[in-house]
Structure 1
């Protein structure tokens, strides 16, 4: 009987971890598909220059503005049920935003909010399942898989489905699949009447949270600046839209293994001391190279794909390893990701404004290189911190 119970429990845990991967796949196609089809969407929906920049950066802005929703919803209905709701809302938002021109920006904001709820709840969800570094890496890697799918299939879907609207709405099917996967898991979630633990933040923990938030902010800013503007940067180098979309997909695809490995490295202090800061240095050097060399696009995108996806995987791994328990992981995740995505959204929008003001991407890329150097510094600080417990004893 005990053996049968153990097998059942192991199977349920494996299914729950697999569902986390399916949720992760849904957290990037809504962004990278729009980036790849940005010019087509601008024409199809008759967008102004400001509206175009908003369409490209609004999901990330929504991430920051709606970060508290994940923990709030989780405290009421539980983490698994909240992930189910997030995937259902994402599916609805992806379809409704292309039904009429006036719904495009509000629907995009709603999609961003749903993605943010899921993103903030995945670390505590994994923590509650006692996920290993490998599973955290796989979860982080699933984000890259989704990003690659969104970028790589955007143009083919546009051609096959006969327009940008159905091409953008098609990604709702993935969200529906993730929602269905979360239904049996949500049935066993904490009951709404159960009181959540009380959270307390003291001085030492506060410093760790500040540094971790800086790490997440800088890596998110650089990651989303690339996924938002890379196709247009490549177009300025003479690449056509299909090639630019494929290179954006390659940026995510080449980063899958680094994203998988980085959270494992995050738990190995000796390697982390040089690996973590080194990622920021590589990013900074690559952006500087991109700024002044228009003939090495494939090489630069490859290096950036490896370094930046590893940086994202490292940040996700640190969110889990720097938290002593699931409630602490939830709060640390919400604060770091919430502030981080506000910085990422505002910074990506600013980069677009700098491009419009200068007529070129050089100044923007130089700013991104400086952000890479700053990321190296804050990672060097955060890896020296101890795990935090934010639960009142």
Structure 2
């Protein structure tokens, strides 16, 4: 019995869908699986306060560097080859750093691992646009949800796994999750080659035969999304870095402080699932941004003014504020016309966005030490809110990254896919 054209079309993309979801699930493992194990890793490898701080900064810095580099690799190699290279780098880095005996090698191999995941961050939005131009909202919802699951899952299971074995086995085990990504993508690429799927940017069922060269440095859309992502990510990195120390300083025990961080992380799940399904229906996406910004503000104020009373309530509000990150990932496709444009926008916004976000957690601690209290540091979060809102209004209109001053570029020639 032959498949209907609709079912056959969906069946032809199963490998891509599984590959996208599994890659999203593995992207945060290298970042959030190590900090819970530093109590075991640090004494054995010789971590100091400086090297621990350096490790904390590696993720946003490496993500920023490879965010800017990856669009060039996409243009040179193609989306799928860049993705496979990213997976191989991530797997090799994770496996090798589980074997080292001193801190400098661990940090170097962490850079290699994060380089792979940084490339993966960039290629996911254009892969969604290429393979699922007719299902952008649903697939984006799925992969952003998997990001949230991975962010929660890695720290949740790293310590029990290390307790049952050792820290080396624990951090090496997450490489298996990345390696599995190769299976569905291998199947998909074999099918694409067999069916001669065009490896060119899609625009609503059309192929861009001659994609225009895009200069994101001159694009208000690209700058707006980068600014928006920087303001959002800075707040998230501050929470992941400083929430437990802050709550312990206010009188909570270590277990309770850790539970609050886990609650913050898991609340990314519901918003990640719903945001991509709702925001594309809005005429003005900034309306959704304002709702989630209100959640951030209530959470920040509650934690500052009453950190030990109703702490769970404040964490819930801040956790729901993470919906702004899901909006940022969705806009990489909603503010581009082609897969190439999506890749450029993804790379530029994540490159500059993570670079800006990397500075804030460091300054948060420096300001706290300099002032002897948390007030000035919390005031920095207000600055992050203003930065995020500035970017949100810049990307609120329907303008795309490929658009010139007078609308869509005439350099994009389209023909129907038969």
TM-score normalised according to structure 1 size: 0.89
Q: 2:311 aligns with which of 276, 297, 306?
A: 297
Structure with larger Rg: 2
Ranges in structure 2 where 5+ consecutive residues have no aligned partner: 202-208, 404-408, 413-418
Distance 1:281 1:18 in 2: 35
Aligned counterpart, 1:160: 164
Q: State the secondary structure of the residue aligned to 2:34.
A: helix
Distance 2:378 2:10 in 1: 48
User: Is contact 1:218–1:375 with CA below 8 Å preserved after alignment?
Assistant: yes
1:4 to partner: Cα distance: 5.9
1:315 to partner: Cα distance: 0.5
Equivalence map 1:233-252=2 (5 Å): 233-252=246-265
1:84 to partner: Cα distance: 1.9
Change (3 A) 1:315 1:47: same
Change (3 A) 1:158 1:221: same
Deviations 1:361-389 (A, max 9, x none): 44333312331243234313421342332
- Count of residues in correspondence between the two structures: 390
Matched, 1:134 2:138: yes
Deviations 1:215-244 (A, max 9, x none): 111112222222233333333344455544
Aligned counterpart, 1:66: 66
Change (3 A) 1:267 1:159: same
Aligned counterpart, 1:322: 335
Q: State the secondary structure of the residue aligned to 1:199.
A: coil
Aligned counterpart, 1:45: 45
Aligned counterpart, 1:348: 361
Higher helix share: 1
Aligned counterpart, 2:204: none
Deviations 1:230-277 (A, max 9, x none): 333333344455544443332222221211211223312347342212
TM-score normalised according to structure 2 size: 0.84
What is the alpha-carbon root mean square deviation over aligned residues?
2.8
Distance 1:273 1:193 in 2: 31
User: Is contact 2:129–2:333 with CA below 8 Å preserved after alignment?
Assistant: yes
Q: 1:143 aligns with which of 131, 141, 147?
A: 147
Q: State the secondary structure of the residue aligned to 1:91.
A: helix
Aligned counterpart, 1:96: 96
Deviations 1:82-131 (A, max 9, x none): 21221121111112223222311111111221111011111110011213
Ranges in structure 1 where 5+ consecutive residues have no aligned partner: none
